[in-house]
Amino acid sequence: MRHVISILVENEPGVLSRVSALFSGRGFNIESLNVAETLDPTISRMTLITAGNEQIIEQIIKQLNKLVNVVKVMDLTGSDFVDREMILVRVRAEATSRAEVLRILEIFRGRVVDVSPKSYTLEITGDEKKIQAVVELLTPFGILEIVRTGKVAIIRAKKDSSHAGKVQEPKSES
């Protein structure tokens, strides 16, 4: 089963390689990995997608916790969380298909970030299903290049009033 693991690490050189070396050294796999600083500049957050049975996931979490630079490990799978991925995709857009590409883009609330006579470069953000759907729909036009960020994820805030507003809810999707 796939798991979304959120890891807070000391923002120091070499930490990423410690985490990735742990995965390669112990035969765990990484489907995607995303790293960026948090509001506290001494801490970075990694969002990591991995797969494995319960025992493997338990080992992954324990092994991550064992790394000296790792501050906190959370397995988001099983809890209520929001995840998003952004893709940049260059699609062939000839005279006959330009309008159709734009229509699909609008349905998925994406944006055009670059234009050429024969292609559009599109920016689309969404959860896994949405990204999958848009890629499927764009494929017949001819995808020239695609760049994905990998997922980022955040736990939903508790819905009682004391915590409300802590998480900014993204706009609902089509």
Partner 1 sequence: MKKTGAEIVFESLKLEGVDTVFGLPGGAVLTLYHAMGKYSEEIRHILVRHEQGAVHAADGYARSSGKVGVCIVTSGPGGTNTVTGLATAYMDSVPLVVFTGQVPTMLIGNDAFQEADITGITRPCTKHNYLVKDVNDLALIIKQAFHLARTGRPGPILVDLPKDVIAAATDFSYPSKLKMRSYNPTYHGHPGQIKRAAKLIAGAKKPLIYAGGGVILSNASKELTALAQKLSIPVTTTLMGLGCFPGTHPLFLGMLGMHGSFQANMAVTHCDVLIAIGARFDDRVTGKIESFSPHSKKIHIDIDPTSISKNVPVDIPIVGDARNILKTLLKYLEEEAGHDWGRKHADWNNQITGWKNNTTPQDASCGPCIKPQYVIEKINEITQGDAIITTEVGQNQMWTAQAFKFTRPRTLLTSGGLGTMGYGFPAAIGAQVAFPDKTVIDIAGDGSIQMNIQELATAVQYNLPVKVAILNNRCLGMVRQWQQLFYEQKYIQSVFDVVPDFVKLAEAYGALGLRATKPEEVEPVIRKALSTPKPVLMDFLIDQNECVYPMVPAGAALTEMLLV
Q: Is 14 in the site for partner 1 (CB under 8 A)?
A: yes
Contact between 34 and partner 1 by CB under 8 A: the answer reads no
Q: For residues 27 and 22, what is the distance between their CA atoms, to the nearest angstrom?
A: 8
Near partner 1 by CB under 8 A: residue from 30, 48, 49, 70: 70
Q: Residue 65 or residue 139: which is nearer to partner 1 going by CB?
A: 65
Cα distances (angstroms) measured from residue 149 to each of 37, 47, 84, 89, 159 = 15, 11, 9, 11, 29
Q: How far apart are CA 36 and CA 11, in angstroms?
A: 9
Query: For partner 1, which residue of 16, 35, 71, 74 counts as binding (CB under 8 A)?
Result: 71
Indicate the residue among 11 and 121 with the shorter CB distance to partner 1.
11
Rounded to whole angstroms, how far apart are CA atoms 44 and 37? 4
Residues lying near partner 1 in the complex (CB under 8 A): 9-10, 13-14, 17-18, 21-22, 25, 55, 58-59, 62-63, 65-66, 68-71
